[in-house]
Amino acid sequence: MTHDVKITVIGAGVVGLAIAALLSENFKSIFVIEKHLKFGQETSCRNSEVVHSGIYYPKDSLKTKLCIEGRKMLYEFCEKYSVDYNKCGKLIVANSDLEDKKLDILMRNAKDNGVDEVEKLLKEEVELLEPNVRALTAIYSSETGIVDSYGFMKQLELNAINNEVQFIYGSEVNKIQKTDNGYKLTLIEHGGDSFDFSSEIVINASGLNSDKTSEMIGINDSSYNLHYWKGEYFSIGNGKNTLVNRLIYPVPNANILSLGVHATIDLGQGLKLGPNTVYLKDKKINYKVDPKHKIDFFNSAKQYFPFLELEDLRPDQAGIRPKLQGIGDAFRDFIIKEEKEKGYANFINLIGIESPGLTASLAIANYVKELI
Ligand SMILES: Cc1cc2nc3c(=O)[nH]c(=O)nc-3n(C[C@H](O)[C@H](O)[C@H](O)COP(=O)(O)OP(=O)(O)OC[C@H]3O[C@@H](n4cnc5c(N)ncnc54)[C@H](O)[C@@H]3O)c2cc1C
């Protein structure tokens, strides 16, 4: 049987776009199916836009490997295609002896992971870099930066289109059936009409839905179940957005559930705090920022931003992390695998692609290419 298409990518977030753009260099006949009317409408446009260096996660994890590779590839990509970025650097600040000890552990982890562009700074050295930041000591990571995630995705889409990838927007994958040598997919279009086609290879890059998409073909593995952790942001106004020039992070928790409420600058000179971690028990997607959380943001950031006043904070955006980690769980890595062992050859799952998924996206695409 011949297929209508060779490869179908489900999801046009940054990961699906990076995969489609890369695979289109070697394969013709690729569909990208996206339920929204354009790319990047979910997690990929609701994040901190930080290009991470790869210092937090365990050495042999995909999160570390793909973050480090992806970061280098991302900066090269931005140079090549004139996508806006700023390698502004980042400080992880300690304000107690206990936090300072945790910084030393983090520093060892960074070196173990092969991230050499980090150094420990004393109070006076932090003051020279960032006079408005309070810290006893800090780790300075010079390779960390920020990127225009929209511009990056737009370029990926363009590269894919130039290589004849077909984007089918406004259509949701509703059903996937295994056939003798591939998969039959059913799409529901915005107007309610349905449409079937067959594909030899299917790549599930459907973000918050990726566990459900995997269940559609019949994989029922509870270790794939996603937990939704919302992350809210508050922006800093009253003219204080220009008081820092780098990303400022606190010391993270031991289980790296999140990197802590940090301060990120953006390419438009904005400064915002976030994201916090709110568990969405009902898994209902809502991007509202709860104004009652303002005081928690203030209390966290006041430790390293002595200039901050409560009235400087305004509710900003929110995003939802598709995490494999539930409440109280230990670290979980990305799942990126071809499901041959489960009886689904040529079906590639990407599940739990939370942070540093934006940074790692080009390396994730390479990894998927190797699986094919
Ligand atoms: C608060 C927050 C902060 C973050 N900060 C950073 C950061 O600073 N740096 C970093 O590197 N990473 C960060 N991340 C992580 C990063 O944003 C994600 O890893 C990345 O955006 C994931 O991209 P994706 O393409 O896998 O998912 P998505 O962007 O969610 O894309 C999946 C797409 O699939 C589509 N889809 C789903 N189901 C279907 C279906 N059945 N049919 C058709 N289409 C479907 C969706 O509409 C969506 O567009 C952050 C994440 C959050 C939530």
pLDDT of 34 strictly over 90? yes
The CA distance from 14 to 154, in Å, is 9
Contact 203, 368 (CB under 8 A): yes
pLDDT of 188 strictly over 70? yes
pLDDT of 63 strictly over 80? yes
The CA distance from 195 to 63, in Å, is 36
Quick check: CB of 250 below 6 Å from ligand 1?
Answer: no
pLDDT of residue 306: 96
Which of 19, 31, 47, 321 has most ligand 1 atoms within 8 Å of CB, for mutation?
A: 47
Quick check: CB of 364 below 6 Å from ligand 1?
Answer: no
- C-alpha distances in angstroms, 170 versus 5, 21, 41, 116? 19, 20, 12, 44
Q: State phi, psi for 72 to the nearest 5 degrees.
A: -65, -45
The CA distance from 111 to 94, in Å, is 19
Measure the CA angle with vertex 109, ends 105 and 114; round to 5°.
Answer: 150
- The distance between the two most distant Cα atoms of the chain, rounded to a whole number of Å, is 70
For 261-285, the pLDDT digits (tens) are: 899 999 988 999 999 999 999 999 9
Instruction: With H, G, I as helix, E, B as strand and everything else as coil, classify residue 348.
Output: strand
pLDDT of 255 strictly over 60? no
pLDDT of residue 346: 97
Give the atom of ligand 1 at the shortest distance from the alpha carbon of 264.
8
Contact 53, 118 (CB under 8 A): yes
> For residue 5, how far is its CA from the centre of ligand 1 (angstroms)?
25
- Helix 14-23 / helix 149-162 crossing angle, nearest 10 deg: 30
> For residue 130, how far is its CA from the centre of ligand 1 (angstroms)?
32
The CA distance from 38 to 159, in Å, is 16
Q: Which residues contact 256 (CB under 8 A, 6 or more apart)?
A: 56, 57, 331
Which of 206, 213, 266 has most ligand 1 atoms within 8 Å of CB, for mutation?
A: 206
Half-sphere exposure of 211 (CA within 13 A, CB side): 17
pLDDT of residue 260: 74
> For residue 43, how far is its CA from the centre of ligand 1 (angstroms)?
3
> For residue 243, how far is its CA from the centre of ligand 1 (angstroms)?
30
Quick check: CB of 289 below 6 Å from ligand 1?
Answer: no
* Adjacent-strand bridge partners of 26: none
Quick check: CB of 145 below 6 Å from ligand 1?
Answer: no
Give the atom of ligand 1 at the shortest distance from the alpha carbon of 206.
34
> For residue 212, how far is its CA from the centre of ligand 1 (angstroms)?
15
pLDDT confidence bin for 257, thresholds 50/70/90: low
Neighbours of 239 (CB within 10 A): 8
Q: Would you state the structure tokens that stand for residue 283, as one six-digit string?
A: 């898994």
Q: Would you state the structure tokens that stand for residue 151, as one six-digit string?
A: 């511009």
> For residue 358, how far is its CA from the centre of ligand 1 (angstroms)?
8
Cα-Cα end-to-end distance for the chain: 20
Burial 5-32 (b: 16+ CB within 10 A, else e): bbbbbbbbbbbbbbbbbbbbeebebbbb
Report the candidate in 190, 186, 226, 189 with the shortest Cα–Cα distance to residue 202. 186
Q: Which residues contact 72 (CB under 8 A, 6 or more apart)?
A: none
Instruction: Please compute the mean of the pLDDT values over residues 23-36 and round it to a whole number.
Output: 96
Report the candidate in 94, 40, 50, 48 with the shortest Cα–Cα distance to residue 74. 50
For 192-239, the pLDDT digits (tens) are: 899 999 999 999 999 999 999 999 999 999 999 999 999 999 999 999
The CA distance from 350 to 11, in Å, is 11
Quick check: CB of 357 below 6 Å from ligand 1?
Answer: yes
Q: Is the dihedral of CA 101, 271, 244, 247 positive or negative?
A: positive
The CA distance from 82 to 86, in Å, is 12
The CA distance from 237 to 249, in Å, is 19
Neighbours of 37 (CB within 10 A): 10
pLDDT of residue 256: 58
For 85-106, the pLDDT digits (tens) are: 999 999 999 999 999 999 999 9
> For residue 44, how far is its CA from the centre of ligand 1 (angstroms)?
4
pLDDT of 335 strictly over 60? yes
pLDDT of 254 strictly over 80? no
Quick check: CB of 204 below 6 Å from ligand 1?
Answer: no
pLDDT confidence bin for 258, thresholds 50/70/90: low
Q: Which residue is closest in CA terms to ligand 1's atom 51?
A: 47
pLDDT confidence bin for 252, thresholds 50/70/90: confident
Contact 133, 248 (CB under 8 A): yes
Q: Would you state the structure tokens that stand for residue 290, as one six-digit string?
A: 């709860």
For 113-162, the pLDDT digits (tens) are: 999 899 999 999 999 999 999 999 999 999 999 999 999 999 999 999 99
pLDDT of 1 strictly over 80? no
Which of 197, 348, 355, 368 has most ligand 1 atoms within 8 Å of CB, for mutation?
A: 355
Burial 192-221 (b: 16+ CB within 10 A, else e): eeeeebbbbbbbbbbbbbbbebbebbebee
Task: Name the percent of the chain lying above pLDDT 70.
Answer: 98
Quick check: CB of 19 below 6 Å from ligand 1?
Answer: no
> For residue 206, how far is its CA from the centre of ligand 1 (angstroms)?
8
pLDDT of residue 3: 74
Quick check: CB of 173 below 6 Å from ligand 1?
Answer: yes
